[in-house]
């Protein structure tokens, strides 16, 4: 939702991606778009009288009619003016070449549209008066107008969007206009308290949200994008910057989008404010076909696609819905070739495959009647680096296999004796565990594949690992965590990381310059993060009603990490790391029971935490 869109300016189809069907002379450009399409700008009136700015691009070839492809966005449909054209149209160049009517709309209260902007607009199932509006009704009213006023349309509509625009695509599904035949919510913001941008298991995702709201301008009236310099942190070192910033109240003082950031500080439990914004709760009787797309290494909206797909499967089993999970960071499927991420190499162009073999055929089938076989799930398995089709997700044959945190750093297939009392470490909020080994500002979009050897060397990180594996451990589905813990404090964070440890003689995946730089990453012994999640202990029984820890009392924390699709290969080891900070990715816990949004410097204290025997991580293993 946040970092990806501020960096790429995802407006009127501005992603420049490759396509094998366009020649080098026809690479996406404003000139090519201008040559093939005519631009129109409209202010379409909604049922409550608010007008939404809408850009429409119609093919110059009027010998046939075309379906409509629409994106609704809070990030601007620029460039404005009927003589100004974007570099490309649609999700990929294949759409531009094939021919559609492309529609882009500024949502309420953003850029050139009237009305008030509401983050993750709550859906209203019952609309008794014209004042009862939401994103579903705005999409409906827009499509109704387009069908009547844009010549040459076939009466069929597709919607797509990535991240926040993915939310607007998903929000069009409940009570969808009959003309909507296909919708692709990609990395959709779905429930920002339960695993998307804002909170993970009660812990606030500090760097991503602060980094977004220091530049997110609040609007009072319609306006074109205003230029200006990005926020000046005064240092390239995010660890240093956020430590000096200290408290969330000081963070609020420095952001631009204060009212939006303040909502995170005013609603630190799963209250009605957040419940009303969970669009997945409204996926009953959905009529369009749905292609839900997500990245296995999406640092922002990893949970959203999985939650939306599960809701569709449960509440609208008749709906033809498909889940795609690939080895991508946030939005990575829409740009580049997807051959690698961070230090990893996947041996194939995964993003091009998605655009040409999955996304484009999906819309062609439902909007133009071109036959295409679309499975229930398309999933790329890292480790083996293979695409696989599945009839269900997670696969029906997946079985839970538990690994227990044992003595002397062992990770065991059987529960160890409980007599030894477990392992203890001291967590100091003044020296939190960094989430990266090197200087970086904010949240890196590819941190979810990073080497964890630096963390394993810290005394405030517990490390458990198996012996070298003798056979593949193929894991497809959620990762379940059970921790038996105690603390000297009244609250604590527990960050659990699942890691693939490469053999010491593992070859480097990519060619290295000669002579090799002294700080070049070596893959021998690489500790690849596969999945990691924080859990704030006061939410162990409920996200709605936090409870303090009782110092010294053993408590059980159980939670589920988002699905993975990864094979631990023979010779590799499975590792689990446990720590109590992940900075500045996650805000610091004072380690005392309180509303952390109101903490002052003196509230942050050291505490000793113990992880007791019986703690485990359970993987969804497929034979």
pLDDT at 26 (0 to 100)? 55
pLDDT at 17 (0 to 100)? 33
pLDDT at 8 (0 to 100)? 33
Helices (H), 29-163: 30-36, 93-98, 135-149
pLDDT at 189 (0 to 100)? 96
Distance CA 70, CA 90 (A): 8
Distance CA 54, CA 294 (A): 27
User: Could you tell me which residues come within 8 angstroms of residue 13 by beta carbon, excluding any fewer than 6 positions away?
Assistant: 71, 86, 88, 89, 90, 91, 102, 104
pLDDT at 509 (0 to 100)? 77
Query: In the beta sheet, which residues pair with residue 559?
Result: 481
What predicted TM-score, i.e. pTM, was given to this entire model? 0.94
Query: Closest by alpha carbon to 551, among 594, 581, 592?
Result: 592
Domain locations in the chain as residue ranges: 3-191+277-291, 399-622
Query: In the beta sheet, which residues pair with residue 157?
Result: 68, 180
Fold (CATH) for 399-622: Jelly Rolls (2.60.120)
Q: What's the residue count for the chain?
A: 623
Domains 3-191+277-291 and 399-622 share a fold: no
- Ranges of the chain whose pLDDT falls below 50: 3-25
pLDDT tens digit string along 240-277? 999 999 999 999 999 888 888 999 999 999 999 999 99
User: Could you tell me which residues come within 8 angstroms of residue 250 by beta carbon, excluding any fewer than 6 positions away?
Assistant: none
pLDDT tens digit string along 608-621? 999 999 999 999 99
Fold (CATH) for 3-191+277-291: Rossmann fold (3.40.50)
Which residue matches tokens 């380690």? 591
């Amino acid at each position: 939702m946040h970092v990806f869109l501020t960096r790429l300016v995802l407006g009127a189809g501005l992603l420049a991606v490759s396509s094998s069907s366009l020649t080098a002379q026809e690479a996406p450009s404003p000139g090519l778009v201008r040559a093939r399409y005519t631009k129109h700008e409209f202010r379409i009136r909604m049922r409550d009288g608010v007008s939404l700015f809408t850009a429409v691009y119609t093919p110059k070839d009027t010998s046939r009619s075309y379906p409509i492809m629409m994106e609704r966005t809070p990030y601007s449909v620029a460039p404005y003016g009927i003589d100004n054209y974007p570099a490309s149209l649609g999700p990929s160049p294949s759409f531009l070449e094939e021919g559609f009517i492309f529609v882009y709309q500024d949502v309420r209260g953003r850029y050139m549209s009237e009305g008030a902007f509401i983050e993750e607009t709550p859906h209203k199932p019952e609309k008794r008066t014209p004042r009862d509006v939401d994103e579903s009704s705005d999409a409906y009213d827009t499509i109704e107008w387009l069908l009547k006023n844009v010549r040459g349309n076939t009466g069929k509509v597709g919607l797509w969007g990535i991240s926040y625009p993915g939310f607007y695509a998903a929000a069009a599904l409940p009570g969808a206009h009959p003309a909507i035949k296909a919708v692709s919510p990609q990395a959709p913001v779905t429930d920002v308290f339960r695993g998307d941008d804002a909170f993970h298991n009660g812990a606030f995702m500090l760097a991503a949200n602060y980094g977004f709201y220091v530049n997110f301008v609040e609007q009072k009236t319609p306006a074109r994008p205003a230029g200006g310099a990005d926020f000046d942190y005064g240092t390239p070192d995010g660890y240093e910057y956020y430590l000096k910033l200290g408290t969330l109240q000081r963070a609020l003082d420095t952001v631009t989008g204060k009212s939006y950031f303040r909502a995170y500080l005013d609603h630190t439990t799963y209250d009605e404010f957040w419940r009303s914004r969970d669009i997945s709760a409204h996926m009953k009787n959905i009529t369009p076909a749905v292609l839900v797309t997500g990245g296995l290494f999406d640092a922002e909206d990893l949970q959203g696609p999985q939650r939306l797909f599960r809701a569709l499967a449960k509440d609208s089993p008749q709906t033809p819905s498909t889940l795609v999970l690939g080895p991508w960071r946030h939005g990575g499927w829409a740009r580049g070739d997807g051959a690698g991420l961070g230090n990893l190499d996947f041996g194939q162009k995964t993003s091009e495959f998605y655009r040409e073999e999955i996304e484009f055929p999906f819309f062609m089938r439902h909007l133009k009647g071109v036959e295409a076989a679309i499975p229930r799930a398309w999933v790329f398995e890292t480790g083996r680096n293979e695409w696989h089709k599945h009839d269900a997700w997670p696969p029906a044959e997946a079985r839970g296999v538990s690994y227990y945190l044992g003595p002397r750093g062992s990770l065991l297939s059987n529960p160890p004796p409980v007599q030894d009392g477990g392992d203890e470490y001291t967590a100091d909020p003044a020296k939190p565990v960094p989430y990266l080994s090197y200087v970086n500002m904010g949240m890196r979009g590819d941190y979810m594949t990073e080497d964890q050897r630096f963390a394993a060397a810290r005394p405030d990180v517990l490390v458990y690992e198996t012996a070298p594996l003798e056979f593949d451990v193929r894991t497809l589905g959620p990762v379940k965590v059970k921790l038996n813990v105690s603390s000297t404090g009244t609250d604590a964070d527990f960050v659990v990381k699942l890691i693939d440890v490469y053999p010491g003689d593992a070859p480097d995946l990519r060619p290295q310059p000669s002579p090799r730089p002294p700080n070049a990453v070596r893959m021998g012994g690489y500790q690849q993060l596969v999945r990691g999640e924080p859990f704030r202990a006061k939410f162990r029984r409920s996200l709605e009603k936090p409870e303090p820890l009782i110092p010294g009392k053993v408590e059980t924390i159980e939670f589920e990490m988002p699905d993975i699709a990864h094979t631990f290969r023979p010779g590799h080891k499975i590792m689990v790391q446990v720590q109590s900070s992940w900075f500045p990715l996650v805000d610091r816990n004072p380690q005392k029971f309180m509303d952390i949004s109101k903490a002052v410097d003196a509230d942050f204290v050291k505490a000793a935490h113990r992880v007791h025997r019986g703690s485990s991580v359970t993987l969804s293993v497929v034979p």
